[in-house]
Amino acid sequence: MTPRNLEIRFIAPEELGGPLSLLEGFMRDGEPLPTLFVGQLARAVERGDLEVLVAFTKPEKRSVGAVVLAFRHSVSLGASFASIEDLYVRPDARRRGVGRALFKAVEERCKERGISYVEVQTDDGAAPFYKALGYESEEGVRVLSRSYAF
């Protein structure tokens, strides 16, 4: 498999089932997302706040990777920016250019939307992949989180 054998495509809201299954299999150990949340994702895609790009093999049309890209506004930047929310490439397709092809599509999409800043939160294992694509650690920036029990 090479990038020439791939088709990267934006997914419409009504097509989210396939890519979400791919992401659920890895990120949620196969546990399906709540129906309410899937509806929220579909509405975010409809509004253009979220885009899902999927890499398919040609000619088989087998999905081998997906990236979820969110668009946000920042007062401190005085502009919109993009955030890589989720990225997954099937193990049998790794180290074959799928991730790079997805990120090339992300870059092209951000350029179309006039966005020059893209961020990603990642773990130590995936950091070398992002660094190889030109992403840098931001010194002095920490991600703090809190879960509320509702």
- Is the bond leading into 32 cis (omega within 30 degrees of zero)? no
pLDDT of residue 1: 63
* Residue in the structure block whose two tokens are 């966005």: 115
pLDDT band at 73 (very low <50, low <70, confident <90, very high): very high
d(CA 45, CA 69): 10
Helical residues (DSSP H) of 82-139, grouped into ranges:
98-112, 127-132
Q: Which domains does the chain have, with CATH numbers?
A: 3-126 (3.40.630.30)
Tokens found for residue 50: 């979220």
Would you call 121 helix, strand, or coil by DSSP? coil
pLDDT in tens, 26-59: 888 888 999 999 999 999 999 999 999 999 998 8
What are the residues whose beta carbons fall under 8 Å from the beta carbon of 30, sequence distance 6 or more? Answer: 24
Tokens found for residue 98: 């799928």
pLDDT in tens, 107-142: 999 999 999 999 999 888 899 999 999 999 888 888
d(CA 94, CA 88): 9
Would you call 61 helix, strand, or coil by DSSP? coil
Mean pLDDT of 8-33: 90
Query: pTM score, two decimals?
Result: 0.88
* Beta-strand relationship, 118-120 and 79-89: parallel
What are the residues whose beta carbons fall under 8 Å from the beta carbon of 108, sequence distance 6 or more? Answer: none
* Residue in the structure block whose two tokens are 């419409």: 12
